[in-house]
Structure 1
């Protein structure tokens, strides 16, 4: 019996490959809004980050989140992402 492939994605913070379900998706919608995607199905450009504040801080400090989303990110959006991490 063939084993199913498990999708993997890279965390933009720590740059490690992990199972897609273990990571949180941050999406830039076609309208330009940046938000946390809990369903993983919202339309737009998405990047993945580990559900830890350390990885989000690394991604913010190195501007990897901005580069991956191809959009400048304000401090209010970072605060909303941090709050979203604490909830999940």
Structure 2
């Protein structure tokens, strides 16, 4: 069952159950949030908070984990997911 494993937030570094975190996936160059955990591709987890998103971008954890440059459009897409999640 999903949610039983512990993941590390790329922003704050806290370890939490994956159901508490937002999964971000790079699937062939397309960045998506995957709430169901079913998309394939490189992934990274962050707490669904703006401070964690900002920290993960600033310390290059998102770009390193996803192997893609975090453009303003990707950042804004993730920010919108946090604000509406």
Using the size of structure 2 for normalisation, the TM-score is 0.91
Larger radius of gyration: 1
Deviations 1:20-42 (A, max 9, x none): 1100100000x211111121111
Structure 2 unaligned segments of length 5 or more: list them.
none
Matched, 1:33 2:33: no
1:79 and 2:79 matched: no
Partner residue of 2:42? 45
What RMSD in Å do the two structures reach over aligned CA positions?
A: 0.9
Question: How far apart in 2 are the matches of 1:43 and 1:68?
Answer: 14
Q: Give the aligned length.
A: 82
> Given the two structures, how large is their TM-score scaled by the length of structure 1?
0.88
Which residue number corresponds to residue 7 of structure 2? Answer: 9
More displaced stretch, 34-43 vs 50-59: 34-43
Runs of 4+ in 1 over 3 A off after TM superposition: none
